[in-house]
Amino acid sequence: MARIVMKFGGTSVADLDRIHNVARHVKREIDNGHEVAVVVSAMAGKTNELVGWAQAIPRVTGAPSPLYDAREYDAIVASGEQVSSGLLAIALQSIGVDARSWQGWQIPIRTDNAHGAARILDIEGAEITRRMGLGQVAVVTGFQGLAPDNRIATLGRGGSDTSAVAVAAALKADRCDIYTDVDGVYTTDPRIEPKARRLARISFEEMLELASQGAKVLQVRSVELAMVHKVRTFVRSSFEDPDAPGMGDFDNPPGTLICDEEEIVEQQVVTGIAYAKDEAQISLRRVADRPGVSAGIFGPLAEANINVDMIVQNVSEDGSRTDITFTVPTGDLEKAVSALEKARDTVGFDAIQSEAGLVKVSVIGIGMRSHAGVAATAFKALADKGINIRAITTSEIKISILIDSAYAELAVRTLHSVYGLDRQ
């Protein structure tokens, strides 16, 4: 017997038939003798509809500013999970499984006061644990909790993954199963490279890099949280037949286990290739090379709420002037350039050059910590295909390379092949 948290996203509860299917997945685990808590997202499309209304209403009233109160936004948007959790509880009861829904404020899942992008502080798990012990399934609303002001706070888009991992940590669950519309984590995007293989296991650190680098399987924050609390997290498909052979295999279900690297016996040098589209590059030419200049550049960008990704700064030749290159989302390029123009005098640089529509390709693997030459292999493979590298950044377990978007698919396939990820 184990304690399992099962999380189902919006497409998995998109309509009543799919909710029934989710109930069958849950019943399978209950029938196998496990204690189960379920975390659900809103029915697919609902959150977008609610967000759309909250954003539109100030314009409808002719307000000079389209801003809205984040606390009201939260109250509106959180209603989606309230509906899906109630429907799933009824579906479970209908097929003979004891269940009740729990809204974030009822548990409570305590968050901070950052409405619209709140962080979970604490989850009161005692009553839920007690009921799970009696065989009752707890169906928990994802994406939301109770802020110190006694109002609902939401965690930001995709927050249900984070809710699930946080609930799993609070309930000391043996595993957190994230049911989604893909059947696991792949060595790269199978739509680009059909030879991509599903990974049986991947370490928290690698998954964190993969998620940060554009693999949309899991929200980055949920992986961080899983890593901190060592929550063994399983990514698997909600669309398979709940009673197909092996689906209830506790030790080895179909999907990808995200776990501590110690659990991964045969460590590969490279685990996966990720890519992120719509990157824009900004280069500042002949920036004064003195203390405080980086703060002068990136401070105004942070204030403008622009997420800066790769940053490349070379050692300057003569110690006085250097070039700084970094990337931002293409959608933020205009805003970033205008913020930098305003800072030109205080920072001191000659020119701003920018280019939109680039792609960042990343090679990820814990094994590269102890293997030399991983980066060189990538550079050579790309050079052989005539792909020009615009910028490079590296971390202990990741090499990121900025290239022209026309070469995105070719680069992904080339790297996937050169590290032997095609082979079973």
Shortest distance, position 65 Cβ to a copy of itself, whole Å:
8
Element (H, E) at 302: helix 293-303
Q: Is 86 in the site for a copy of itself (CB under 8 A)?
A: yes
- Binding part of the chain for a copy of itself, among 16-24, 193-201, 312-320, 330-338 by CB under 8 A, reads 16-24
DSSP symbols for 118-129? --EEEE--HHHH
Q: Kindly tell me the sign of the dihedral angle through the C-alpha atoms of 377, 382, 388, 391.
A: negative
Q: How far is the CB of 28 from a copy of itself (least distance, A)?
A: 14
Q: Which is nearer to a copy of itself, 116 or 367 (CB)?
A: 116
Nearer to a copy of itself, 62 or 194 (CB): 62
16 binds a copy of itself (CB under 8 A): yes
Site mask for a copy of itself (CB under 8 A), range 48-77, x = bound: --x--xx-xxx-xxxx----xx-xxx-xx-
Q: Which is nearer to a copy of itself, 106 or 405 (CB)?
A: 106
Q: Which is nearer to a copy of itself, 58 or 156 (CB)?
A: 58
Q: What is the DSSP secondary-structure string of 108-159?
A: TEEE-S-TTS--EEEE--HHHHHHHHTTPEEEEETTEEE-TTSSEEE--TTH
Indicate the residue type of 242: P
Does position 406 interact with a copy of itself (CB under 8 A)? The reply is no
Any contact of residue 23 with a copy of itself (CB under 8 A)? yes
* Shortest CB 23 distance to a copy of itself, Å: 6
Tokens of 73: 């936004």
Among 160, 150, 144, which residue's Cα sits nearest to residue 74?
144
Q: 73 phi and psi, to 5 degrees? A: -50, -45
**Closer to a copy of itself at the Cβ: 20 or 157?**
20
User: Hey, what are 401's tokens?
Assistant: 């390379």
What's the rounded Cα separation, in Å, for the pair 40 and 81? 7
Contact between residue 68 and residue 54 where contact means Cβ atoms under 8 Å apart? yes
Q: What is the DSSP code string of 59-111? A: HHTT-SS----HHHHHHHHTHHHHHHHHHHHHHHHHTT--EEEE-TTTTTEEE
3-state secondary structure of 421: coil
Q: Does 321 bind a copy of itself (CB under 8 A)?
A: no
* SS3 at position 294: helix
What are the residues facing 235 on neighbouring strands? 178, 256
State the nearest-atom distance from the C-beta of 45 to a copy of itself, in Å: 13
Cβ at position 75, least distance to a copy of itself in Å: 4
| Smallest separation (angstroms) from a copy of itself to the CB of 252 | 29
Binding test (CB under 8 A) with a copy of itself, winner from 37, 44, 91, 147: 91
**Of the candidates 155, 179, 153, which has an alpha carbon nearest to the alpha carbon of residue 247?**
179
Q: Which of 95, 126, 295, 406 binds a copy of itself (CB under 8 A)?
A: 95
Contacting a copy of itself within 99-158 (CB under 8 A): 100-101, 103, 105-106, 150-151
Q: Minimum Å distance from CB 41 to a copy of itself?
A: 14
Contacts of 29 (CB under 8 A, 6+ apart): 4, 6, 36, 248
Nearer to a copy of itself, 58 or 348 (CB): 58
Q: Which stretch binds a copy of itself (CB under 8 A): 4-12, 98-106, 262-270, 408-416?
A: 98-106
Binding site for a copy of itself (CB under 8 A): 16-17, 19-20, 23, 50, 53-54, 56-58, 60-63, 68-69, 71-73, 75-76, 78-80, 82-83, 85-87, 89-91, 93-95, 100-101, 103, 105-106, 150-151
